Structure 1
């Protein structure tokens, strides 16, 4: 049995769908966020995420950091998608 204190439940939501479907995946707290983003992109057949940003609760997060470094310790949903263009006239 996994030690629940060392894992976080994560869901990644994109315009192409959600990973892992309708549930959450358990990820080690010390893992870099980019790993789950890469798995989501592969699973959802997303070709390029070069200009995408990851957000949690509307705040941009650094994919090179770990879940623990961001003080994420329980269950989160990452919104992952293209950088929003700045409109205006």
Structure 2
């Protein structure tokens, strides 16, 4: 194992997680960003700038989006593989 990689740190100074955690970290970050943006736009369109209402709607939508992504991501990967050519090996 590469010692430089073992000592890698995040931008927050904490040690990076092992690669096996990527299957949970990716949908977690994706769901956080997605629900944050969608709930902000929805709140802005319906009620104007209301931070409290936006935070409430985000707090409701994220716990639904994260497990949903965990369940559907494997299906989406398979559907993508069925629609997109595999990259050619050099």
Please give the TM-score of this superposition, normalised by the length of structure 2. 0.25
Structure with higher Rg: it is 2
The structure with the largest strand share of the pair is: 1
Please give the TM-score of this superposition, normalised by the length of structure 1. 0.25
Higher relative contact order (CA 8 A, sep 6+): 1
The structure with the largest helix share of the pair is: 2
